[in-house]
A and B are shown apart, each in its own frame.
Chain A
Amino acid sequence: MSLSIRPTYVGSAVIFMVSIVIMFLSIYLTKKGTVKPKIRKLPGMDALDEAIGRATEMGRPVHYTVGLGGVGDSQVIAGLSICQYVAKKCAEYGVRFLFTFADPSVEPVARDLIKSSYTMAGKPDEYKPENVIWLSNRQFAYATGAMGLILREKVAANLLLGYFAAESLILAEAGFRAGAIQIAGTTNSYQIPFFIATCDYTLISEELITAGAYVAGTPEQVGTIFGQDIMRLIGLILTIIGLLFWAAGNRWFYDVLNI
């Protein structure tokens, strides 16, 4: 058995190890109380309550979708963890909660999750299986189903948090025509512009994935956000060092990043 690191992947291996160590350390320190990170506000997340409140007043449903991705996708996982919060709030206020998705692997997870959110809110009987809707496993068929649903049900809040490709604008425009308050988030850099242009609040890239921890707010979760910021600092420092070397006409550091 001969074991060797893939060529040009040494850097990745190092960063992989470093990131795990940093995450552990920051969770440990936060739990112990040595560092007390204060997370900046995410207006999009704070607006969730406002959106659900508005739906309650108007007596119209809330539509939530995690988009195209399967359950292994980080954006979908993030979308699902925010979904817990929203579903529970909707159950408490008695608002109809419509959940749509495209990938079949999301189906059992989402149903389980939403059902238990209703149970936790003390209203297990109000969970309606027909409100969790698989629309199709083909991209634009899913978009068609969603845009029809949004306008038919006249949703009061349109929450698009997950993995979106070209259908982003279709969903957002349908929400606009239904007169809904819209909160969207994705990490796809091609689709963020459309969300920025059409939605009331947009969780840009990182903000979406961190939002789950932001809502939970436990020391462990906040600890990982702190670790994430340390990783960002490492990225910034690496870039600055690289730029300085490069400006001095030295390729060494640039090549080091590719070993």
Chain B
Amino acid sequence: MSIVIRRYIPWILAVILTFFMALDTLVLEKNINAYAEAIRKAQAIIGTHAVIISITLFTRIHGRRVIKDPKRIESWILLICLWIPLIWGLGRYAFYGVKPTVEPSIQQVFSAIVSPGDSTIYSILVFFIASAAYRAFRARSMEAAILLIAGSICMLGNAPVGELIWSGFVPLKDWINNVWVRAEARVIIISGLLATLALYVRILLGYERGWMGRGE
């Protein structure tokens, strides 16, 4: 019995929902479409609860670190930056009805820490892309040479300085972008779908059980 509750019911639930939602995208029927829309919203609500586990465990890991070694400033900082805005934001939301998107102090935390963090880490990519290009764009083999040539042409065609060096870079860049990059992207998309179909069949038939853990 226990394996039924542990494994079979969740699995059957997933199968039924998959087919129902697939039906919704294919079929025009007022009730089905309305139910599907409601189910999708319910899923968003249910899925949000997972964050409880994550935040609890996150706090536990760093709490233990702090207890073991109270001099670990970074874990202290993490706990402070996590819990103070969270409690304040929730409290303001619950008791005063102020949405976190407009609550000024939450917005200040956002623009003091989160927003600069986002844009800094995004922009740190410029250094990494430079060093990746330096290491990878080396004509070691035929493939590497193709990578090197296509990459360098596109780089030079994109920057104004490339046009100053040789005016041919721009049409060549457009050609690579619109012929080769397009063909590549299309194949990656199609092949991703084919594999996804096969994976879903494996899940629906119960061969692929990674998503349920292994358990017993």
Contact = CB atoms under 8 A, between A and B. Distances in A.
Contacts of A109: 210-213
Interface string B59-103: 001001000000000000000000000000000000000000000
A5 B28 CA distance: 6
Contacts of A232: 191, 194
A152 B111 CA distance: 28
B210 A77 contact: yes
B213 A134 contact: no
Most buried by B among A120, A140, A143, A176: A140
A16 B198 contact: no
Contact of A169 (B118, B129, B215): B129
Contacts of B26: 5-6, 9, 12-13, 16
B205 A27 contact: yes
Contacts, number: 197
Main secondary structure of the interface of B (DSSP, over half): helix
A11 B213 CA distance: 36
A78 interface: yes
Given A3-B29, A134-B57, A210 B210 contact: no
B128 A169 contact: yes
A220 B198 CA distance: 11
A109 B28 CA distance: 35
B210 A84 contact: yes
B194 A134 contact: no
Interface in A211-259: 212-213, 216, 218, 220-221, 224-225, 227-228, 231-232, 235
A150 to B, nearest CB: 13
B62 to A, nearest CB: 10
A5 B27 contact: yes
Contact of A78 (B28, B136, B188, B199): B199
A58 interface: no
Interface in A150-170: 166-167, 169-170
A235 B214 contact: no
A180 interface: no
B213 A116 contact: yes
Interface residues of B, number: 58
A197 interface: yes
B2 interface: no
Interface residues of A, number: 81
B13 interface: no
A84 B214 contact: yes
B39 interface: no
A233 to B, nearest CB: 10
Interface string A168-194: 011011001000000000010100101
A209 B188 contact: no
Interface stretch (A33-41, A42-50, A90-98, A198-206): A198-206
Given A143-B121, A228-B195, A6 B25 contact: yes
Contact of B47 (A2, A70, A108, A220): A70
Contacts of B4: none
A198 B136 contact: yes
Interface string B181-208: 0001100111110111111111101011
Given A140-B121, A170-B125, A198-B136, 14 more contacts: A2-B29, A4-B27, A5-B26, A6-B25, A71-B211, A84-B210, A103-B50, A109-B213, A113-B213, A129-B61, A173-B128, A206-B192, A212-B210, A227-B201
Interface of B: 22, 25-29, 31, 47, 50-51, 53-54, 57-58, 61, 64, 114, 117-118, 121-122, 124-125, 128-129, 131-133, 135-137, 147, 184-185, 188-192, 194-203, 205, 207-208, 210-215
27 contacts: A2-B29, A6-B25, A23-B197, A74-B200, A83-B210, A107-B53, A108-B53, A109-B212, A112-B212, A116-B214, A130-B64, A138-B118, A139-B118, A140-B117, A167-B121, A169-B128, A170-B121, A173-B128, A197-B132, A206-B191, A209-B196, A209-B198, A210-B195, A213-B198, A216-B207, A227-B198, A232-B194
7 closest A-B pairs (Cβ-Cβ)?
A112-B213, A197-B136, A209-B195, A116-B214, A81-B210, A187-B192, A104-B54
